[in-house]
């Protein structure tokens, strides 16, 4: 049975992701402490032991739900890349906050990027689909979890003991991530070095551990408040995030705030699930349609960027700023970016679903 609380939890997480991408200084560190780990933990929470006896079905579901959307939308945006230069959405003067810009692709570069998308889930458009690393990380983490779980089932001290196996996988993933960041190693063949993938595996295992100990999720209000206070304190005094270029210290710093962030978000979600109002229905719908927000929020930001450029009288070229117009990040435009980044993709999804329902109804008549 599908968990409404978990859907709401993902709805909150995807909204936080969009808010984080608005780069508003007052919320940036707080959001980045836990918003992406929530998705890995939620995926692990949904892992079913039945997959151990039906590996092909599990892998097919992962490919259909992660690899195929990644490939489809990566290729579509690659096809649109040069067009974006023609219409002025992208340019070679304005780019990311570090000063990096993107350029039109040659025919050879376009072909290479397609190959990279197909064969190692890289090569996607950095400015229009820069968040697509998550598809690869979750795919690798979930399949690695399945493989490790099956292997550890045959290790005598862990034989058929579900929770110890999950804790062992979490320990293996975390120790490898610490080793990697401590020594500056990279996982050869895995794009961006494999750190996010290892941490994804760790958080995936944590999610399964939560599933096996559901009473841990039923904490009192003061427990959620403590988790919130801890995440806030972490974001102020020892901030971290799930970046692909991490260090040993950053790796250590994100572990507990990320878990605490999930715990408090799930607690809030379990309360919201009991409501019967537009907020509850919106977050449910949002959590069940995170893909559309994930794929389209950056391009939807451009609408607000156009408004901001007009408001401040900036050079139109700033529309190419990634992800948002960098002029005056402390203003309230982050609210409009958040509304557009979440609202427009969901509105389009809702409209498409209604259209399909209408067609089905007409066909039945």
CB-CB neighbours of 238 under 10 Å:
15
Q: Is the pLDDT of residue 1 over 70?
A: no
Q: What angle do CA 233, 175, 196 make, to 5 degrees?
A: 65
Answer for the pair 55, 281: CB distance below 8 angstroms, yes or no. no
Q: Is the pLDDT of residue 82 over 60?
A: yes
The percentage of the chain sitting over the pLDDT mark of 70, rounded to a whole number, equals 98
Q: Is the pLDDT of residue 363 over 70?
A: no
Residue 108 CA: distances (Å) to CA of 38, 70, 105, 114, 169: 38, 21, 8, 10, 41
In terms of DSSP H, where are the helices of 215-332?
A: 221-237, 248-272, 278-288, 290-312
pTM: predicted TM-score of the whole model, two decimal places: 0.95
Q: Is the pLDDT of residue 365 over 80?
A: no
The Cα 271–Cα 284 span in angstroms is 13
Give the model confidence (pLDDT) of 247-267 as tens digits. Answer: 999 999 999 999 999 999 999
pLDDT of residue 169: 97
Tokens of residue 312, six digits:
């401040």
Ramachandran sector of residue 94 (left: φ over 0; alpha: ψ -120 to 50; beta: rest): beta
Answer for the pair 123, 114: CB distance below 8 angstroms, yes or no. yes
SS3 88: coil
The Cα 326–Cα 30 span in angstroms is 20
Q: Which of 48-52, 107-111, 175-179, 259-263 has the lowest mean pLDDT?
A: 48-52
The Cα 181–Cα 353 span in angstroms is 44
Tokens of residue 335, six digits:
């609210």
Give the model confidence (pLDDT) of 153-183 as tens digits. Answer: 888 887 778 899 999 999 999 999 999 999 9
Answer for the pair 207, 42: CB distance below 8 angstroms, yes or no. yes
Answer for the pair 178, 248: CB distance below 8 angstroms, yes or no. yes
Q: What share of the chain is helix, strand, coil (3-state, %, to 5)?
A: 75, 0, 25
């Amino acid at each position: 049975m599908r968990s409404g609380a978990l859907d709401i939890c993902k709805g909150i997480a995807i909204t936080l992701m969009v808010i984080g991408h608005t780069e508003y200084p007052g919320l940036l560190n707080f959001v980045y402490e836990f918003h992406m780990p929530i998705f890995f933990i939620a995926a692990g929470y949904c892992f079913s032991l039945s997959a151990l006896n039906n590996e092909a079905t599990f892998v097919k579901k992962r490919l259909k739900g992660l690899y195929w959307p990644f490939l489809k939308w990566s290729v579509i945006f690659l096809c649109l890349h040069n067009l974006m230069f023609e219409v002025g959405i992208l340019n070679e003067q304005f780019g990311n906050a570090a000063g990096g810009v993107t350029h039109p692709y040659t025919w050879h570069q376009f072909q290479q990027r397609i190959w990279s998308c197909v064969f190692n889930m890289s090569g996607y458009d950095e400015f229009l689909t820069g968040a697509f690393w998550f598809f690869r990380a979750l795919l690798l983490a979930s399949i690695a979890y399945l493989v490790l779980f099956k292997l550890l089932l045959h290790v005598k001290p862990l034989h058929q003991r579900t929770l110890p196996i999950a804790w062992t996988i979490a320990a293996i993933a975390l120790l490898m991530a610490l080793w990697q960041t401590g020594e500056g190693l990279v996982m050869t063949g895995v794009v961006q070095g494999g750190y996010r993938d290892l941490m994804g595996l760790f958080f995936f295992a944590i999610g399964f551990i939560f599933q096996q100990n559901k009473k841990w999720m039923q904490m009192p209000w003061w427990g959620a408040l403590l988790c919130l206070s801890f995440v806030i304190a972490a974001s102020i005094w020892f901030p971290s995030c799930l970046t692909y270029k991490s260090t040993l210290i950053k790796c250590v710093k994100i572990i507990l705030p990320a878990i605490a962030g999930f715990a408090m978000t799930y607690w809030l979600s379990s309360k919201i699930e009991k409501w019967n109002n537009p907020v509850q229905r919106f977050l449910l719908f949002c959590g069940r349609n995170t893909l559309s927000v994930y794929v389209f929020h950056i391009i939807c930001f451009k609408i607000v960027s156009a408004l901001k450029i007009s408001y401040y009288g900036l050079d139109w070229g700033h529309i190419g700023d990634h992800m948002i117009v960098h002029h005056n990040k402390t203003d309230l435009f982050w609210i409009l970016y958040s509304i557009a980044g979440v609202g427009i993709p969901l509105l389009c999804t809702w409209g498409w679903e209604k259209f399909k329902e209408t067609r089905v109804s007409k066909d039945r008549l």
